[in-house]
């Protein structure tokens, strides 16, 4: 491992399985056979787990499990409470609270400097918070650091695989850090390399891979030990559209193989957030501006779709009125034969307006209906474009 910040695994001692928590050692040994086996390990017995949990809760002085379940729902994989990180006088993460459900893909979307990486580093225990806390797979990030690290996989923003090792060697080193060895390790490596489409390249030196392949190797490494939660910091930044698409599809396959896998990813690409995330938070200046499903965030906008209709002749005031009564908002006529307005997504006013105009004797030359994007959502909260921030 060349980078000391390569991920939580880097800080874990290399060594035999028996050095690990017995509940972890059990699932490391318990390698499910065959294709499509679950990524998530079989849980430790309910009793020992509940006991350990109760102890941890008592030590942490936190809400009881029951209280938390009432608050967040029984299926929370991550619960973040007023998490704050200051660097000197600057606040990178400012009292952020949210929760991620088991099996959910949760996005942190925001411009450069929004605090995304800092938040990920706090949740993966690479940085201590200034105040507030979070629980990852029910382990407190302050008091249960090792347990958190074992439950998670991370793919950081930087390239952290060793460029002088082969694809296989990179995974082998990683596996050994988690106490994997022998046949178990070999099986895991094969499964992960097949999942990311790099099995045929196992003998290739990492620096000879393309950017997209290197990224896929990073991801294979992040999931090698079957984490229940995967943290991805900008998984596709800098990749060409084809590689981005391949990685998106790979996440889809991984979720299909293990519906309980929770993924937290950061991005400043709205299309990526839109495509991958079940829910997302839009971050700016260390704070969450809004949170919800991509669809609900877009629907929440006062005005959503932008409609432009060009006709073969000037639109009369009476006909303009007919379009307005459909519910068109912010109507303007940049030219006498053009109607521009906005509508709520899903209202289909654009099509109906074109129909109304045709019924009134116009010929529609152009009809453009542009769906709102998460970019518009960001703009509505900040008055700035995501990419210009």
Site residues, ligand ATP (CB under 6 A): 87, 90, 92, 110, 112-118, 157, 268
CA distances from 77 to 54, 98, 103, 207 (A): 17, 11, 8, 35
Cα separation, 218 vs 155, whole angstroms: 6
CB of 121 to ligand ATP, least distance (A): 8
The three-class DSSP label of residue 79 is strand
User: Of 273 and 307, which CB lies nearer to Mg ion in the complex structure?
Assistant: 273
Cα separation, 66 vs 71, whole angstroms: 9
Name the segment binding Mg ion (CB under 5 A); options: 45-53, 110-118, 134-142, 237-245. 110-118
User: Of 157 and 184, which CB lies nearer to Mg ion in the complex structure?
Assistant: 157
CB of 114 to Mg ion, least distance (A): 8
Cα separation, 160 vs 305, whole angstroms: 41
> How distant is the alpha carbon of residue 145 from its chain centre?
22
Tell me which of Mg ion, ligand ATP, none is bound by residue 242, counting a contact when its beta carbon lies within the kind-specific cut-off of 5 to 8 angstroms.
none
User: Of 180 and 288, which CB lies nearer to ligand ATP in the complex structure?
Assistant: 288
Contact, 325 vs 336, CB < 8 A?
no
CA distances from 109 to 15, 51, 224, 265 (A): 37, 37, 26, 8
Tell me which of ligand ATP, Mg ion, none is bound by residue 381, counting a contact when its beta carbon lies within the kind-specific cut-off of 5 to 8 angstroms.
none
CB of 84 to ligand ATP, least distance (A): 12
CB of 237 to Mg ion, least distance (A): 9
Residue count, binding to Mg ion (CB under 5 A):
3
CB of 194 to ligand ATP, least distance (A): 31
- What would the two tokens of residue 381 be? 């909260």
Tell me which of Mg ion, ligand ATP, none is bound by residue 118, counting a contact when its beta carbon lies within the kind-specific cut-off of 5 to 8 angstroms.
ligand ATP
- What would the two tokens of residue 201 be? 């390249």
The three-class DSSP label of residue 50 is helix
In what order do the strands lie in the sheet containing 90-101? 90-101, 76-87, 131-136, 139-140
User: Of 116 and 298, which CB lies nearer to Mg ion in the complex structure?
Assistant: 116
CB atoms within 10 A of CB 58: 10
What letters, b where the CB count within 10 A reaches 16 and e where it falls short, cover 180-199?
Answer: beeebbebbbebbbebbbbb
CB of 91 to ligand ATP, least distance (A): 8
Tell me which of Mg ion, ligand ATP, none is bound by residue 113, counting a contact when its beta carbon lies within the kind-specific cut-off of 5 to 8 angstroms.
ligand ATP
Name the segment binding Mg ion (CB under 5 A); options: 153-161, 269-277, 300-308, 326-334. 153-161
Cα separation, 112 vs 358, whole angstroms: 47
User: Of 277 and 357, which CB lies nearer to ligand ATP in the complex structure?
Assistant: 277
Applying CB under 5 A, which of residues 40, 99, 117, 137 lies at the interface with Mg ion?
A: 117
User: Of 157 and 380, which CB lies nearer to ligand ATP in the complex structure?
Assistant: 157
User: Of 79 and 233, which CB lies nearer to Mg ion in the complex structure?
Assistant: 233
CB of 27 to ligand ATP, least distance (A): 32
The three-class DSSP label of residue 258 is coil
Residues making contact with Mg ion (CB under 5 A):
116-117, 157
């Amino acid at each position: 491992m060349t980078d000391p910040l390569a991920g939580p695994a880097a800080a874990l001692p290399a060594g035999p399985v028996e050095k690990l928590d017995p509940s972890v050692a059990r699932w490391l040994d318990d390698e499910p056979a065959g294709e499509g086996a679950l990524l998530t390990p079989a849980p430790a017995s309910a009793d020992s787990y509940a006991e350990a949990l109760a102890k941890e809760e008592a030590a942490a002085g936190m809400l009881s499990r029951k209280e938390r379940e009432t608050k967040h729902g029984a299926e929370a994989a991550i619960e973040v409470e007023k998490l704050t990180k200051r660097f000197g006088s600057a606040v990178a993460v400012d009292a952020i609270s949210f929760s991620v459900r088991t099996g959910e893909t949760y996005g942190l979307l925001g411009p450069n400097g929004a605090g995304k990486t800092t938040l990920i580093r706090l949740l993966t225990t690479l940085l201590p918070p200034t105040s507030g806390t979070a629980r990852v797979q029910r382990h407190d990030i302050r008091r249960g650091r090792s347990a958190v690290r074992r439950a998670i996989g991370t793919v950081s923003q930087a390239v952290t695989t060793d460029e002088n090792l082969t694809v296989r060697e990179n995974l082998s080193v990683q596996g050994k850090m988690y106490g994997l060895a022998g046949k178990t390790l070999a099986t895991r490596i094969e499964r992960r390399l097949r999942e990311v489409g790099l099995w045929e390249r196992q003998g290739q030196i990492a620096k000879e891979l393309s950017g997209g392949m290197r990224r896929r190797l990073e991801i294979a490494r992040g999931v090698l030990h079957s984490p229940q939660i995967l943290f991805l910091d900008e998984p596709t930044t800098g990749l060409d559209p084809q590689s981005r698409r391949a990685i998106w599809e790979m996440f889809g396959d991984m979720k299909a193989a293990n519906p309980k896998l929770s993924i937290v990813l950061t991005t400043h690409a709205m299309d990526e957030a839109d495509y991958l995330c079940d829910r997302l938070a839009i971050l700016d200046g260390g704070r969450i501006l809004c949170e919800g499903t991509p669809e609900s965030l877009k629907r929440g906008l006062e005005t959503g779709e932008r409609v432009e209709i060009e006709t073969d002749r000037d639109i009369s005031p009476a006909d303009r009125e007919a379009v307005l009564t459909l519910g068109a908002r912010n109507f303007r006529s940049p030219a006498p034969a053009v109607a521009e307005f906005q509508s709520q997504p899903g209202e289909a006013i654009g099509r109906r307006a074109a129909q109304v105009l045709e019924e009134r004797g116009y010929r529609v030359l152009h009809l453009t209906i542009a769906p709102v994007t998460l970019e518009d959502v960001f703009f509505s909260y900040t008055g700035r474009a995501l990419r210009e921030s």
